[in-house]
Structure 1
Amino acid sequence: MKQKVVIKVSMHCQKCHSKALKIVVGSPGVESAALKGADKSEIEIIGDGMDAVELATSLKKKMKYAELVSVGPAGGGEKKEKPKEAEKPKEAKPEVQVQPLVWSGYPGGVPYYYDNRVVYADPYYSPNCFIM
């Protein structure tokens, strides 16, 4: 799928323009590149299978400033309208009741673990422990 990437680069002379375009066009997957914007400081790149972050990084290394402005599908200006299907009534989903989690105050910040016989304050301490 073709994608369109717009990268803002600091360019102030004709030499900078040609240097930036050379860097972009030499990247894999790039089909076309053009200068856009009022002051020609943005490069619009159209290609298939290109990495936008890699393009911005390589421009930043050589041109000292590059900002990734937008990445999106390459649309030629035509908008294809999909035929609308008849609206189906949405089925009501049953409400799921969630039990709230209640934390009671534990003495000393250690939770109690309940057993049928004894209440332990520490999970690793047991009166039935035979290891010494």
Structure 2
Amino acid sequence: MTMRQRIEIEVPLHCGGCKKKIMSICTTADGVCSVSFERGGKDKVVIKGEGVDAAGLTACLRKKVNKYAELISVAKDT
């Protein structure tokens, strides 16, 4: 049984194109149920799902969108 998880990845959102590309990459990853963006002190994408490879997803974002994507946290989603 896999645990439902909440993944936060810090990634600068420069423009609408970046946001669209990030959304496309995240929604096609295995196990992802929802993707949302949070803009506070730092821009981040929040991914919720089951069995998501957080490190792999972060590496993919680094490679395809922004070299500064950083995995902030992986936690159990309530």
Q: TM-score scaled to structure 2, two decimals?
A: 0.88
Greater fraction of residues in helix? 2
Partner of 1:21: 23
Unaligned runs of 5+ in 1: 76-132
Unaligned runs of 5+ in 2: none
Greater CA radius of gyration, 1 or 2? 1
Q: TM-score scaled to structure 1, two decimals?
A: 0.54
Partner of 1:109: none
Count of residues in correspondence between the two structures: 75
Taking only the aligned residue pairs, the percentage that are identical comes to 39
Q: Deviations over 1:80-119 (max 9, x none)?
A: xxxxxxxxxxxxxxxxxxxxxxxxxxxxxxxxxxxxxxxx
Partner of 1:38: 40
Q: State the 1:40 CA deviation.
A: 7.2
Structure ranking higher on relative contact order (CA contacts 8 Å, 6+ apart): 2
In structure 2, what is the Cα distance between the partners aligned to 1:39 and 1:7? 13
1:67 to 64, 70, 78: 70
In structure 2, what is the Cα distance between the partners aligned to 1:13 and 1:26? 21
